[in-house]
Amino acid sequence: MKLWQKNFEINSEIERFTVGRDREMDLYLAQDDVLGSMAHITMLESIGLLEKEELKQLLAELRRIYAVIQEGGFRIEDGIEDVHSQVELMLTRALGDMGKKIHSGRSRNDQVLVDLRLFTRRQLKTVVEDVMVLFSELQKQSEQYKHVLMPGYTHLQVAMPSSFGLWFGAYAESLVDDMMMLQAAYRQTNRNPLGSAAGYGSSFPLNRTLTTKLLGFDSMDYNVVYAQMGRGKTERNVAYALASVAGTIAKLAFDACMFSSQNFAFVKLPNECTTGSSIMPHKKNPDVFELTRAKCNKLQALPQQIMLIMNNLPSGYFRDLQIIKEVFLPAFKELRDCLQMTTYIISRIHVNEHILEDSRYDLMFSVEEVNRRASSGTPFRDAYKQVGLEIEAGEYTPVKEVSHTHEGSIGNLCTERIAALMEDVVKDFHFERMIQAEQSLIQGK
């Protein structure tokens, strides 16, 4: 029987349609539902809605359920609507009517809100960690190959000298900006909606400051109506941050696929990251990066998917919001898989250090020659015309040397400054507050 069910039977097809993938999606939130309940009942005891002994027994049982979840043994039984109902059922089976008291002062609306916030902030932490691993690998490769020149392109035409130091380092710095997006997403996520109930508060004297502290949130969503309005909005904004990371990875994957083709041959991918052809024995296809590119492009559509589900809804709760779980909850693992695959390849990629021996790249030094003449006193426009006429006449001979010294150029990559910028962003997440709060609830300290 449903928590809300009255004295009538539920049509099985209607139930199938309305439940949809709820049970499957709610498994993502199981441990967070338990953590939220621990904080909620601790608060209930503080305002006299639970006895101390009841709180003690309920917390002990919730910790047991948490352990079952961590061990992979938790499931939502047939006929049980969602994770909230399953946890309450397990408590009632173990402790009798005491288990039915935990829902005082809350609704499944704010219960799922707090579950989503706890889940999302923890997942953002893992994404941040994976981004940092890739960032460090890109920085390492940037330094290792900083003296190896390669062509830079505009309009996919050979343009000017670049370097592998610049190429790897550019993607490292792109991740710094992505990290800023992740930090903004984390800050919005790390606010407590618990206590908003169905969106209009409760007549119980709830202590929302206490649950905020117990769960390690930075602050709360104060206005109870706005707390409910945050459903969908938070997921959308987090999705923009994930999409920002995905955009960087997709572009890197595209470059790597192009640069590893025979027509470029700038890099060689690890053999184990390529696949063959059923008909062409020579083929080594960059399938891992192609799939990474596709998955990341899919992730870049996520904010729009969420926006289209929730965009035309007025204030208050609507069942439409349930569908957001289906696209949002799995997205973190999809992005983390892409980050980890990219890190694996970047750490093992082989760089061609003899690219410039090919004469097709001679013209990329033309700007260097123009600048050399301008530095010697020739007006820039005159130097430009001189070199251009020499190229047209077939009389241009490249000097394959570069001398770039300004910040961020071939000869001055600013690797340490980029690392310092990233460090400043990461330290402001303050994940330690979240970790300490959750450990205190789980361990009973």
Residue 9: predicted pLDDT:
64
Phi-psi region of 21 (alpha: psi -120 to 50; beta: other; left: phi over 0): alpha
The answer to whether 35 touches 441, Cβ cutoff 8 Å, is yes
Q: Indicate if the pLDDT at residue 8 is higher than 80.
A: no
pTM equals 0.93
129 and 203 together in one domain: yes
What is the share, in percent, of the chain residues with pLDDT greater than 90? 87
Mean pLDDT of the chain: 94
99 and 115 together in one domain: no
Q: Does residue 400 form part of some domain? A: no
Local structure of residue 179 (DSSP, 8 states): H
Q: Indicate if the pLDDT at residue 266 is higher than 80.
A: yes
Please give the full DSSP string across 298-332, using - where no structure is assigned.
HHHTHHHHHHHHHTT--SS--GGGGGHHHHHTTHH
pLDDT bracket for residue 4 (50, 70, 90): very low
Q: Indicate if the pLDDT at residue 3 is higher than 90.
A: no
The answer to whether 125 touches 111, Cβ cutoff 8 Å, is no
- Residue 206: how many CB atoms within 10 A of its CB? 23
Three-class SS state of 407: coil
Local structure of residue 49 (DSSP, 8 states): S
Q: Does residue 409 form part of some domain? A: no
Q: What is the CATH number of the domain that holds 121?
A: 1.20.200.10
Domain extent, residue 230, equals: 108-357+414-443
Which one of 61, 84, 103 terminates a domain? 103
220 and 329 together in one domain: yes
Structure-token pair, residue 198:
């169905």
Which one of 86, 103, 120 terminates a domain? 103
Q: Which residues pair with 412 in a beta bridge?
A: 409
Which one of 78, 103, 128 terminates a domain? 103
Residue 70: predicted pLDDT:
96
Residue 268: predicted pLDDT:
95
Q: What is the C-alpha radius of gyration for the chain, rounded to an integer number of angstroms?
A: 28
Extended beta strands in 172-228, E state: 191-192, 219-220
Q: Indicate if the pLDDT at residue 22 is higher than 60.
A: yes
Residue 10: predicted pLDDT:
66
The answer to whether 305 touches 315, Cβ cutoff 8 Å, is no
Match 């990251």 to its residue by tokens: 273
Residue 405: predicted pLDDT:
94
The answer to whether 66 touches 34, Cβ cutoff 8 Å, is yes
pLDDT (mean) for 274-294 = 90
Q: Report which residue type is found at 53.
A: E
Residue 274: predicted pLDDT:
87
Residue 21: predicted pLDDT:
81
